Amino acid sequence: MTFDKQYPDAETLTQVEFDGDFTIKAGESKPCYICGITTSWLNGSFQTFICSPECANKLWNEYNEACIEREYQESSNEEKANEQ
């Protein structure tokens, strides 16, 4: 369920906390980073527009996967350097 549906009367700069994260109602609307729905809710951790807790969780999953991939690449590069 989108933040707009959960908080229909929220005013600009309203902050909502969920799952250890937070989002703020901005004074403008842009497409959700994940699904593209127009939203005025800005994720506090990533400073990007997110329409719902579900999309925020997907954003965190993308971030975590990118971190794991980067860590794997760095360790792989270290192993190759040590072999030489």
**pLDDT interval class at 30 (50, 70, 90):** very high
Per-residue confidence (pLDDT) for residue 18, from 0 to 100: 86
Which uninterrupted H or E stretch holds 16? strand 15-18
In the chain, what are the domain boundaries?
Answer: 3-83
CA distance readout (Å), 54 to 5, 27, 35, 50: 13, 22, 10, 9
Per-residue confidence (pLDDT) for residue 10, from 0 to 100: 97
Burial 1-22, CB ≥16 within 10 A → b, else e: ebbbeeeeebeeeeebeeeebe
Per-residue confidence (pLDDT) for residue 61, from 0 to 100: 94
The token pair that represents 2 in the structure block: 């989108």
Q: Is the pLDDT of residue 80 over 70?
A: no
Higher pLDDT, 2 or 78: 2
Q: Which tens digit of pLDDT belongs to each residue from 38-56?
A: 999 999 999 999 999 999 9
